[in-house]
Chain A
Amino acid sequence: MDFWFSYVALASIYVLLGLSTNLLVGIAGIFSVSQAAVFGVGAYIVAYFLMNDITSFLPALAVAAVCCIALNIVVTLPALRVSGDYFVVTSFGIQLLATAVFTNWTDGTGGANGLPGIPSADLAGKALESTGAMVALSLCGMAVGCLIFWLVMRAPFGRLLRAIREDELAVAAAGKSVLRAKVSASALAGAFAGTAGGLYATFLSFIDPSSFDLDASILLLTMVVVGGARTLAGSIVGPFLLLALPQILTMVDIPTTIAAAARQLLYGVLLIVFMLFRPQGLAGEKL
């Protein structure tokens, strides 16, 4: 039962991350391999606030979300002014830099050993210590995220983003600011990733740099690609499917020393196969 609880809670946290990646990659058309870094920043901020008893859970989550919004704006603005390809470099750079900070800034992040003993989340002064309450909180987070995503995509802003994916030049010619729309999408993606980070830190009560490295970013990208770009359904299907996959892998008899490599290998194969034969993913639209 505990296994199912933690699967559902983690999957709903990853749905938030999937929405975040989908906003960037699927909808705004920006290639990103740094979503795990933003996710990590959110997680570490919430962990710091709760462990030092600075605020309760919700204000900490809000601070994390705001910081991640600011981070994403700072990151995307200069790169997107120049050319889309330059953002690839920015994105890799942010990811490697974040891993360096998480691993080496021992005072703030606990270094490679991570931060153990993060207090559980609390709502209105009551600590949510049972797993069931945490699952409910994660599901609520996911529901709110999905609702926001759905509303945004229905709004004129969502139509603008779709139009940009179809034809950037036409949108610019119609007098809309492509850059502003892309940066706004990226800011929203930052808010989702920061919130997901906070939920993740409090749910596991332990974080370390390996959850927020390049491999984690590739996993997020695989989730969006497999689930399907640009749709709400795709962002939900992908995480639930890909988090179940390692469980299936454990049934196949592979030595534990290469298990991690085998899992990442599978993600790589999925990326290539889907890009070649079904770029729209299982439940998405044209990428």
Chain B
Amino acid sequence: MLALQLLVNGIVTGCALGLVAISFSFVYATIRIFHVAHAGVYTTGGYIAWWLVAKGVPFPAALVVAIAACAGFGALIQAWLYAELERRKATHLVVLIASLGALAVIQNIIAALFSANILRFDLPWASRVFHLGEQLRLTAAQLITVAVSLAAYGGTMWFSRGTILGKQIRAVASNPFLGEITRLRPRRVHVYVMAIASALVCLPGVLVPLDLGLQPYSGVTPLLTATIAMIAGGVGSLTGAFVLAIAIAELQNLSLLVMPGEWSIGITFFIFVIFMLFRPTGLFAAAR
């Protein structure tokens, strides 16, 4: 029975991780930046929502404000940092170091403002337990996480295939130079991409802490797991990233049956090494 419960928990964390993975993949496939500071945006969303809830704002409103704030924040990172670096013809390595710097700045501003201790949302309904069948238990927060994540995944797929902006983004991603001469304005599209990805990563950033609480430095591990899911799923494939995120979360949860939870990062990393050795292009990689 424990195995079944772990399986269900794996789906919950997997869905949340999947959103981190598709948002990161969106940035990586389009702007071609290894956006390490994404982990900082993820954490920021949670803290904004926590602060608003503590001030007495109802949770849905707090979530919407946090999403909007993250979108704006992401756009600022793109416009003030990455676009500026691109203008100065910075190498890939320079951009990476700057991104790591931005992550350090975001995390430590949060740590200075809110202290490094775990903060919990003061929302009794979030931890209400629902029983499914005999022994399966799920909290309200977990149910919301799954529902919102699946909806956001569907929404992103539709946005990418069905809307004009989504098509423009894919066009710019496949060939920035051609995008420039056909007046798609790649730079502006990049700002949109970063805003959308940041809004998207804010969802798990708020929903996961409902269950587990907030910590300033807790964004790096989910981001690392999500990038591994993206690589294993095949860079550029949103479905691949989402599915592999769930698979990795399942493996992590089931590994709890045989070893303590502190080592789950080892499991994740093991998966990455296996993929690198045997299928570096990932499972769902598009034919090139």
Q: Which residues of A contact B107 (CB under 8 A)?
A: 264
Whole-angstrom distance between the alpha carbons of A272 and B80 in the complex?
11
- Given A103-B262, A104-B263, A276-B84, A92 contacting B220 (CB threshold 8 A): yes
Q: Which residues of B contact A86 (CB under 8 A)?
A: 231, 276, 280
B 166-207 to A, binary, CB cutoff 8 A, 1 in contact else 0: 000000000000000000000000000000000000000000
Within 8 A of B (CB), among A256-287: 257-258, 261-262, 264-265, 267-272, 275-276, 279, 287
Q: Which residues of B contact A262 (CB under 8 A)?
A: 108, 112
The answer to whether A100 and B265 touch across the interface, beta carbons within 8 angstroms, is: yes
- The answer to whether B135 has its CB under 8 Å from any CB of chain A is no
Name the prevailing secondary structure of the B interface residues.
Answer: helix
Q: Which residues of B contact A90 (CB under 8 A)?
A: 272
The answer to whether B104 and A271 touch across the interface, beta carbons within 8 angstroms, is: yes
- A88 touches which one: B94, B96, B102 (CB < 8 A)? B96
Closest Cβ of chain A to B113, distance in Å, is: 9
- B34 touches which one: A85, A214, A261, A287 (CB < 8 A)? A85
Closest Cβ of chain A to B235, distance in Å, is: 9
Within 8 A of A (CB), among B259-287: 260, 262-263, 265-266, 268-269, 272-273, 276-277, 280
Closest Cβ of chain B to A263, distance in Å, is: 8
Q: Which residues of B contact A269 (CB under 8 A)?
A: 101, 105
The answer to whether A93 and B97 touch across the interface, beta carbons within 8 angstroms, is: no
- B88 touches which one: A100, A265, A272, A276 (CB < 8 A)? A276
The answer to whether A96 and B93 touch across the interface, beta carbons within 8 angstroms, is: no
Whole-angstrom distance between the alpha carbons of A218 and B101 in the complex?
8
Q: Which residues of A contact B276 (CB under 8 A)?
A: 78-79, 81-82, 86
Whole-angstrom distance between the alpha carbons of A221 and B94 in the complex?
12
Q: Which residues of B contact A97 (CB under 8 A)?
A: 265-266, 269
- The answer to whether A108 has its CB under 8 Å from any CB of chain B is no
Q: Identify the stretch in A25-33, A146-154, A172-180 within 8 Å (CB) of chain B at 4 or more residues.
A: A25-33
Whole-angstrom distance between the alpha carbons of A261 and B114 in the complex?
11
Q: Categorize the interface residue count of chain B.
A: 35 or more
The answer to whether A271 and B98 touch across the interface, beta carbons within 8 angstroms, is: yes
- A275 touches which one: B98, B231, B272, B277 (CB < 8 A)? B98
- The answer to whether A84 has its CB under 8 Å from any CB of chain B is yes
The answer to whether A287 and B91 touch across the interface, beta carbons within 8 angstroms, is: yes
- A96 touches which one: B84, B98, B105, B220 (CB < 8 A)? B220
Q: Identify the stretch in B3-11, B47-55, B153-161, B221-229 within 8 Å (CB) of chain A at 4 or more residues.
A: B221-229
The answer to whether A268 and B265 touch across the interface, beta carbons within 8 angstroms, is: no
Closest Cβ of chain A to B44, distance in Å, is: 14
Closest Cβ of chain A to B126, distance in Å, is: 28
Closest Cβ of chain B to A169, distance in Å, is: 15
- The answer to whether B138 has its CB under 8 Å from any CB of chain A is no
- The answer to whether B111 has its CB under 8 Å from any CB of chain A is yes
The answer to whether B280 and A89 touch across the interface, beta carbons within 8 angstroms, is: no
- The answer to whether A16 has its CB under 8 Å from any CB of chain B is no
The answer to whether B101 and A270 touch across the interface, beta carbons within 8 angstroms, is: yes
Max chain A C-beta neighbours (<10 A), residue from B104, B263, B276: B104
- The answer to whether A225 has its CB under 8 Å from any CB of chain B is yes
- The answer to whether B92 has its CB under 8 Å from any CB of chain A is yes
- The answer to whether B109 has its CB under 8 Å from any CB of chain A is yes
Q: Which residues of B contact A82 (CB under 8 A)?
A: 276, 280
The answer to whether A272 and B112 touch across the interface, beta carbons within 8 angstroms, is: no
Q: Which residues of B contact A225 (CB under 8 A)?
A: 97
Q: Which residues of A contact B109 (CB under 8 A)?
A: 261, 265
User: From A262, which residue of chain B is reached at the shortest CB distance?
Assistant: B112
- The answer to whether B116 has its CB under 8 Å from any CB of chain A is yes
Q: Which residues of B contact A31 (CB under 8 A)?
A: 93, 96-97
- The answer to whether B103 has its CB under 8 Å from any CB of chain A is yes
The answer to whether B263 and A93 touch across the interface, beta carbons within 8 angstroms, is: no
Whole-angstrom distance between the alpha carbons of A218 and B263 in the complex?
23
- Given A265-B105, A268-B105, A279-B94, A89 contacting B272 (CB threshold 8 A): yes
Whole-angstrom distance between the alpha carbons of A92 and B227 in the complex?
11
The answer to whether A271 and B108 touch across the interface, beta carbons within 8 angstroms, is: no
User: From B262, which residue of chain A is reached at the shortest CB distance?
Assistant: A104
The answer to whether B85 and A275 touch across the interface, beta carbons within 8 angstroms, is: yes
Within 8 A of A (CB), among B72-97: 81, 84-85, 88, 90-97
Within 8 A of A (CB), among B91-149: 91-98, 100-105, 107-109, 111-112, 115-116
28 contacts between A and B (CB under 8 A): A25-B93, A25-B97, A29-B93, A78-B277, A82-B276, A88-B34, A92-B224, A93-B265, A93-B272, A97-B269, A100-B262, A264-B107, A264-B108, A264-B111, A265-B105, A265-B109, A268-B101, A268-B104, A268-B105, A269-B101, A270-B101, A271-B98, A271-B104, A275-B90, A275-B94, A275-B101, A279-B90, A279-B94
Besides A25-B93, A287-B93, 6 other A-B contacts (C-beta < 8 A):
A83-B280, A85-B34, A267-B101, A268-B108, A271-B100, A276-B84
Interface residues of A (CB under 8 A from B): 25, 29, 31, 33, 78-79, 81-86, 88-90, 92-94, 96-97, 100, 103-104, 214, 218, 221, 225, 257-258, 261-262, 264-265, 267-272, 275-276, 279, 287
Closest 3 CB pairs of A and B: A271-B101, A268-B104, A268-B105
